[in-house]
Chains A and B, each alone.
Chain A
Amino acid sequence: AQSVTQLGSHVSVSEGALVLLRCNYSSSVPPYLFWYVQYPNQGLQLLLKYTSAATLVKGINGFEAEFKKSETSFHLTKPSAHMSDAAEYFCAVSENTSGTYKYIFGTGTRLKVLA
């Protein structure tokens, strides 16, 4: 069964500092992997996704993530945090289960950016 673990429910960084949000997954087959962002009182918005092409995936707003099969990880990074990056971030995995592509989400990481 697939699962997603996000280490750290809350992460604080200073403005301009590196952002690193961790995601590990378990899947019996090569998965599809996603990062979504949720701003206050809004739905989720796709940041980026891995679909078995390049292992380094670039997304919107300067975010990127690297798929590392050996570590079963898909950590999200951004070189320099901006105040507008404060939000909740969700990692998700999707695989075919009996003909259905079900998405499993992590519990989320709330990012706080300090001035």
Chain B
Amino acid sequence: GAGVSQSPSNKVTEKGKDVELRCDPISGHTALYWYRQSLGQGLEFLIYFQGNSAPDKSGLPSDRFSAERTGGSVSTLTIQRTQQEDSAVYLCASSSNGVGGETQYFGPGTRLLVL
């Protein structure tokens, strides 16, 4: 079956502009995660959605970052008033039920460059 897909694959924007990054998880997966991967850094947790529960937003670095998940499927990560330090690869992952020990399936990422 289809894996996790993300769009766009690359995004170049100017400082101060807003961007939207999209994630399509594996069909039927209730858990969805967003991570940020900066050069030389590990994966930084941003936000976690599980079913209809309130999302865990504890990893969002500032109020310029927000995410939503419509209909328990597709998710959009929005960065407002982008800054150069937002340049990174944004990875999305999904898993079946969000329980311990589950495998996360990752998308290929969106590479964001803020000029």
Contacts and interface: CB of A to CB of B under 8 A. Distances in A.
Contacts of B101: 32, 49, 51-52, 94
Contacts of A105: 35, 42-43, 45
Nearest to A100: B56
A64 interface: no
Nearest to A51: B101
A41 B100 CA distance: 28
B109 A102 contact: no
Given A100-B48, A102-B56, A103-B33, A94 B100 contact: yes
B107 A43 contact: yes
Interface string B31-51: 001010000111101001010
Interface footprint category on B = 20 to 34
A102 B48 contact: yes
Interface residues of A, number: 29
20 contacts: A4-B42, A43-B91, A43-B106, A44-B91, A44-B106, A51-B101, A52-B101, A90-B43, A92-B43, A95-B100, A100-B56, A100-B98, A101-B99, A101-B102, A103-B33, A103-B45, A105-B35, A106-B42, A107-B41, A108-B42
Given A6-B42, A100-B50, 17 more contacts: A9-B40, A34-B103, A43-B106, A43-B108, A44-B93, A46-B103, A90-B42, A100-B48, A100-B98, A101-B99, A101-B100, A101-B102, A102-B45, A102-B56, A103-B33, A105-B42, A105-B43
Interface of A: 4, 6, 9, 32, 34, 36, 41-46, 49, 51-52, 90, 92, 94-96, 100-108
